[in-house]
Amino acid sequence: MLGYIASLLCMGAIYSIAALGVNLQWGYTGLFNIGIAGWFAAGAYTSAILTTGPGSHLGGFGLPFPVGLLGAAIVAGIFGWLIGLPTLRLRFGFFAIATIGLGRSMVLFFKNEQWLTSGVWGMGGIPKPLSNVFPANADWAYGFLVLAIMLILYYILEKIVSSPWGRLQLAIKEDEHLTEMLGKDVWHYRMQSLVLGSMLVGIAGATYAHYQQYINPESFGDVMATFIIWVMVVAGGTGNNKGSIAGAFTIWLVWTLSEFGAGYLPLASTQVPYVRTLLVGLVIVGLLRWRPQGLIGRKRAVSAAAGEERVE
């Protein structure tokens, strides 16, 4: 039981970081990015390459964990910038289609370039920070480390979205044409949001790789690296960073508990994943029906001068 709690803590924090990145792109700027798996994989593989020892892949650098996180953020951000160049001028639906295609292309790239990532064989031996210091409680120690990283990123992101930059992102989401009429370069602000959100997703991928200590292309499927993250953002409440964190922990708790519940059903082992996905789908449908604003609604300023807010 304690192992499950430690896993809930760690995976909840990891997915919270990813949800914060997606919420920045969608909740504040209105970018419907459904190619999250590509950035998640980019962060995971980058950190793994930088921190692991020699193997049948690029790497052998054995660099510290913080360097891996920094590298993951930079590479994911570069991928975000490159993908944003041809896609950010596309309209809502076309942008979504482009991102899912390019995101899957990134995962296929990591799968096929064996010299870089060991291909389908995957990469193992990824170090878990603090496991040498707390060998008997490695998962708990790492869970609190990731939780601390998540809280730091949350604090920084709250400062950013509360600034004029964040309010401008909301203006772009609500009415991009009016924002352009005010003399703002909407494309550049969208690019900034896409890159920053991609960096957060990349950091989440890196922390996931160090927790699992082994990754392969199957680790970044559409369900676990795209669908469930979007569910977390929607369930928590788009446009609210606290909501993204609450949604991440809530949905991951439901996902974890469904593993226990599935054991009591007369199902084959191959059917269990589909039942768990169906359960999460029912949860999100229920939330959309009875609480469409999510667990925590978006804060909107009523009077910036008076410091008044309301939650929708």
231-248: per-residue pLDDT in tens?
999 999 999 999 999 999
CA angle 130, 69, 129 (to 5 degrees): 10
**Residue 268 pLDDT > 80, yes or no?**
no
pLDDT tens, residue by residue, 161-176:
999 999 999 999 988 8
pLDDT band at 303 (very low <50, low <70, confident <90, very high): very low
Specify the pLDDT at position 312. Answer: 55
**Residue 214 pLDDT > 60, yes or no?**
yes
Specify the pLDDT at position 189. Answer: 96
pTM of the model: 0.92
